[in-house]
């Protein structure tokens, strides 16, 4: 039996624009997905998820069976969850040259599913690490990031950047532009506060929406390019330890994401609650449509304001997690 964990993330800047080659800065947070795998005698997969969203679901598949779990969550989420695990196990089989390997997989995740905190990337990264180690092979974090990206790319029909998977595998704050991914060193202390509306956004649909706008309107393409400018300025502000400027740029980034149609009433309500509580900055994180916002605040005010904001189901402080994927006992 082998257990690995990997962190979720927030986007400080750059989601959506990163899909078109602009840079992005995701940051790993101390909310983890833990995946335990145990080799089976056959080539099947049994998955048990004790996820915040897929609580207590168990499903076995592989071989001849055409299993579909009977659980009370939207079918596309379950299909996607199964696709991610299937893909991660396939990567592990390939890396360990064990095409017939079967596993019992248990997922315990502190990261809400489909809420912009990179839950799928964390599960895939941890699963590849645990399954390869269970088969006696150790992969380095960069190789795991690369294999995890292949899985996301396939499950998301090509609409995936390397941002989530690289950030989860490496930990810390990272800078991603196309295939160029690196970890940022010496980032200032970033006092993250996360607000979660309990909902999810459909990443594929939201990415397709931005793509259509970008193709139809020159000013939408300019908006995407302007997000790239914000990220470049934001990277400079991080280098100079200017957290106030980072906050202002986050506010601007949210405005542009909103113009691209990927915010929502509850995300905007949480962003405004954070702003009125004197957060240094606040924006949605991830694909949008619903899910989470991230704010920067050194005081307790934003956390308290979010707790009282209608539509905010949960608010929590999140520390930057400098650890990426790691073995657990
Ligand atoms: O909501 P998430 O965590 O799946 O993030 C999606 C981020 C996008 O930039 C919209 C897509 C991507 O793969 O980068």
CATH of the domain at 273: 3.30.70.890
Residues 133 and 213 in one domain: no
Distance 239 CA to ligand 1 centre (A): 24
pLDDT of residue 2: 97
Q: Give the separation between CA 131 and CA 229, rounded to whole angstroms.
A: 40
pLDDT grade for 65, boundaries at 50, 70 and 90: very low
Evaluate whether residue 329 is within a structural domain: no
Residues 226 and 127 in one domain: no
Question: Is the pLDDT assigned to residue 67 strictly greater than 70?
Answer: no
Residues 158 and 254 in one domain: no
The atom of ligand 1 lying closest to the CA of 119 is 3
Domain of residue 248 covers: 192-318
Q: Give the separation between CA 176 and CA 161, rounded to whole angstroms.
A: 9
Question: Is the pLDDT assigned to residue 80 strictly greater than 90?
Answer: no
pLDDT of residue 63: 46
Q: Give the separation between CA 168 and CA 275, rounded to whole angstroms.
A: 28
Domain termination residue (choose one: 166, 184, 202): 184
**In percent, how much of the chain has pLDDT > 70?**
91
Of these residues, 51, 146, 164, 321, which one is catalytic? 164
- Its pTM stands at 0.91
Residues 314 and 178 in one domain: no
Of 286, 290, 293, 294, which is best to mutate to test ligand 1, by the most ligand atoms within 8 angstroms of its C-beta? Answer: 286
Residues 6+ apart with CB under 8 A from 322: 28, 171, 172
- Nearest of 123, 119, 32 to residue 86 by alpha carbon: 123
Rg value, the chain, Cα: 19
pLDDT of residue 64: 42
Q: What's the count of helices (H) and strands (E) in the chain, helices before strands?
A: 9, 12
**In percent, how much of the chain has pLDDT > 90?**
79
Residues 278 and 135 in one domain: no
Averaged pLDDT of the chain: 91
pLDDT of residue 195: 97
Query: How do strand 45-50 and strand 102-109 relate by DSSP bridges?
Result: parallel
Of 112, 149, 163, 177, which is best to mutate to test ligand 1, by the most ligand atoms within 8 angstroms of its C-beta? Answer: 163
pLDDT grade for 242, boundaries at 50, 70 and 90: very high
Question: Is the pLDDT assigned to residue 81 strictly greater than 80?
Answer: no
Average pLDDT over residues 193-205: 92
Could you confirm whether 70 is annotated as catalytic?
A: no
Question: Is the pLDDT assigned to residue 147 strictly greater than 50?
Answer: yes
User: Which contiguous run of DSSP H or E holds residue 10?
Assistant: strand 2-13
Evaluate whether residue 324 is within a structural domain: no
The atom of ligand 1 lying closest to the CA of 114 is 1
Evaluate whether residue 328 is within a structural domain: no
Distance 257 CA to ligand 1 centre (A): 12
Distance 261 CA to ligand 1 centre (A): 15
Residues 170 and 210 in one domain: no
Helix, strand, coil share of the chain (percent; to 5): 40, 25, 35
**Measuring from each residue's beta carbon to the nearest atom of ligand 1, which residues come in under 6 Å?**
15-16, 18-19, 116, 118, 160-161, 163-164, 203, 207, 286-287
Domain termination residue (choose one: 146, 161, 184): 184
The atom of ligand 1 lying closest to the CA of 152 is 13
Residues 77 and 132 in one domain: yes
Domain termination residue (choose one: 160, 184, 208): 184
Which of 24-33, 158-167, 183-192, 311-320 has the weakest average pLDDT?
Answer: 158-167
12: which 2 tokens?
């400080």
**Number of domains within the chain:** 2
String of b and e for 284-299 (b: at least 16 CB within 10 Å)? bbbbbbbbbbbbbbee
Distance 76 CA to ligand 1 centre (A): 17
- Nearest of 69, 74, 77 to residue 45 by alpha carbon: 69
pLDDT grade for 159, boundaries at 50, 70 and 90: confident
Residues 203 and 313 in one domain: yes
């Amino acid at each position: 039996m082998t257990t690995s964990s990997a962190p979720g993330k927030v986007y400080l800047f750059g989601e959506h624009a990163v899909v078109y080659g602009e840079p992005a800065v995701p940051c790993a947070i101390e909310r983890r997905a833990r995946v335990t795998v145990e080799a089976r005698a056959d080539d099947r997969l049994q998955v048990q998820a004790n996820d915040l969203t897929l609580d207590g679901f168990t499903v076995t598949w592989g071989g001849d069976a055409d299993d579909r779990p009977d659980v009370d969550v939207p079918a596309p989420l379950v299909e996607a969850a199964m696709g991610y695990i299937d893909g991660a196990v396939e990567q592990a089989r390939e890396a360990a040259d064990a095409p017939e390997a079967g596993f019992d997989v248990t997922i315990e995740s502190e990261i809400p599913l489909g809420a912009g905190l990179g839950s799928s990337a964390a599960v895939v990264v941890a699963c590849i690490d645990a399954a390869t180690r269970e088969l006696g092979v150790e992969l380095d974090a960069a190789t795991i990031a690369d294999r995890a990206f292949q899985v996301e790319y396939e499950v998301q029909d090509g609409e995936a950047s390397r941002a989530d998977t690289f950030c989860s595998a490496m930990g810390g704050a990272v800078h991603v532009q196309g295939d160029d991914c690196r970890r940022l060193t010496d980032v200032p202390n970033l006092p993250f506060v996360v607000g979660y509306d309990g909902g999810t956004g459909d990443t594929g649909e939201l990415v397709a929406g931005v793509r259509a706008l970008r193709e139809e309107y020159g000013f939408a393409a300019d908006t995407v390019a302007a997000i790239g400018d914000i990220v470049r300025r934001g990277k400079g502000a991080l280098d100079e330890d200017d957290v106030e400027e980072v906050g202002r740029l986050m506010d601007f980034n949210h405005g542009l994401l909103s113009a691209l149609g990927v915010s929502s009433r509850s995300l905007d309500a949480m962003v405004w609650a954070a702003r009125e509580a004197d957060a240094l900055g606040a924006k949605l994180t991830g694909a949008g449509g619903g899910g989470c916002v991230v704010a920067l605040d050194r005081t307790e005010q934003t956390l308290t304001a979010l707790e009282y904001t209608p539509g905010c189901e949960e608010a929590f402080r999140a520390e930057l997690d400098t650890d990426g994927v790691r073995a657990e006992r």
